Amino acid sequence: MKRDVSKALFERAQRVIVAGVNSPVRAFRAVGGDPPFIARAKGSRLFDADGNEFIDYIGSWGPAILGHAHPDVVLAIQNALMNGLSFGAPTALEVEFAERIVSMVPSIELLRCVSSGTEATMSAIRVARGFTGRDVLIKFEGCYHGHADHLLVKAGSGAATFGEPDSAGVPAAIARLTLTLPYNDIAALERAFAESGHTIAAVIVEPVVGNMGCVPPVPGFLQAIIDLCKKYGAISIFDEVMTGFRVSRGGAQSLYGLHPDLTALGKIAGGGMPLAVYGGRRDIMSKVAPLGPVYQAGTLSGNPSAVTAGMATLARLDDALYTKLEALGARLEAGLNDAASKAGVELCVQRVGSMLTPFFTRGPVQNWDDASKQDKERFVRFHRGLLERGIYWPPSQYEAAFISAAHTEEDIDRTIAAAAASLV
Ligand code: HOZ
């Protein structure tokens, strides 16, 4: 595979951009080698600057549920651009967008648009603190909710990938307000509430974790969060930046029939453009300025091009799409398991719909301790083997892979064949 152009670009990039990338995992440090520089994408495919073609399982880290550059989405954005890029003033589009979100995610009554998942989770936590008048936040080890100070405590995703789950630069006084517990551990959660329930402002959780690889909740875990929050007057926050519109039309909360107090959305909500949302109970969200005393604002919040991309994407999420994603996901899961058992390799594939992770461990993986015990060297060889065979897989064992509606059974079968050859 020719890599000269990407290699040269990477060298140039490292002179002027930190590590040559604008988000750490893209540097490929966890898997070695240089990252391909992407020139364009279409459907299930990425094309790099050297002209190599890849079947993509990152999907821009989640947003590309329809596949890349869906013609209807692109056309809608082109039309919107002709009317101006950003006004910093209210638009009819935002109203339509908010109405659609409210109709798709039943727990959201009132919302705010922001520009990134980090902003959404950070703002949801501020509202929870403003509403309760309390400071303590509970999060779970290995969950990643963006890079706000109080969330970079035992964090997953890139923070875990690079062994920095507790970032430098976060004041100890801030980190002390974040209490971390093992994911899926109901007893630990009950103990934490019993000990200091009346100081806890909120519990934030990825209802299906994507940021230590794909880790589903055990039965009763999410309900326990909601119930304990209710009992002690704390706020439950589902971070559905990754799972929202991904694991079902209404996200993980619809899949499991749950009603959190607040929800953060991003990725698919913006259809590939910088757009995210936080929202939930009307009484809580009514604390946000100018209705209430919790301040939050943003110049580009709800800008028409991003909102148009989100609208055009959300409008295409029908039952047939989720049926197709489930079938493709099941096919990939079965194929990976089969390849691993033929190769005599210990592999535990965890999947919810179209998000999935092959963990090189016996499994099941239910929390950070389980996830961190996997065979990382084997993952590196697996990733390299896939890339050489034209499969673009997340370059970290602590990220989930995503399938899009543009993937075909042939794509999945080619991927399984490449995986079988890479299980060395
Ligand atoms: N840590 C992000 C996904 N969980 C990566 C985002 C990116 O590199 O674009």
pLDDT digits (tens, 9 = 90+) for 278-309: 999 999 999 999 999 999 999 999 999 999 99
Cα 58 to middle of ligand 1, angstroms:
9
pLDDT digits (tens, 9 = 90+) for 347-367: 999 999 999 999 999 999 999
Whole-angstrom distance, CA of residue 229 vs CA of residue 192: 11
CB of 398 sitting under 6 A from ligand 1: no
CB of 26 sitting under 6 A from ligand 1: yes
Ligand 1 pocket: which of 38, 61, 152 to mutate (most atoms <8 Å of CB)? 61
Q: In what order do the strands lie in the sheet with 38-42?
A: 38-42, 45-48, 53-56, 391-392
The mean per-residue pLDDT over the stretch 10-21 comes to 97
Whole-angstrom distance, CA of residue 392 vs CA of residue 68: 14
- Are residues 13 and 20 in contact, defined by beta-carbon separation less than 8 angstroms? yes
Domain 4-70+318-422: CATH architecture, name and number where available: Alpha-Beta Complex (3.90)
CB of 61 sitting under 6 A from ligand 1: yes
Cis peptide before 182 (omega within 30 of 0): no
The residue whose CA has the least distance to atom 3 of ligand 1 is: 61
Q: Which fold has domain 71-314?
A: Aspartate Aminotransferase; domain 2 (3.40.640)
> In the predicted model, is pLDDT for residue 424 greater than 90?
no
Tell me what pLDDT residue 152 has.
87
Tell me what pLDDT residue 352 has.
98
CB of 21 sitting under 6 A from ligand 1: no
CB of 143 sitting under 6 A from ligand 1: no
- Are residues 202 and 125 in contact, defined by beta-carbon separation less than 8 angstroms? yes
Cis peptide before 106 (omega within 30 of 0): no
CB of 260 sitting under 6 A from ligand 1: no
Predicted confidence band of residue 63 (pLDDT cuts 50, 70, 90):
very high
Cα 15 to middle of ligand 1, angstroms:
22
Number of H helices, E strands in the chain: 15, 14
The mean per-residue pLDDT over the stretch 238-256 comes to 98
Predicted confidence band of residue 391 (pLDDT cuts 50, 70, 90):
very high
Atom of ligand 1 nearest to the CA of 399: 4
Predicted confidence band of residue 166 (pLDDT cuts 50, 70, 90):
confident
Cα 342 to middle of ligand 1, angstroms:
32
Predicted confidence band of residue 164 (pLDDT cuts 50, 70, 90):
confident
The average confidence (pLDDT) of the chain is 97
Tell me what pLDDT residue 160 has.
82
The domain locations on the chain are 4-70+318-422, 71-314
Q: Which amino acids are annotated catalytic?
A: 144, 239, 267
> In the predicted model, is pLDDT for residue 157 greater than 90?
no
> In the predicted model, is pLDDT for residue 240 greater than 80?
yes
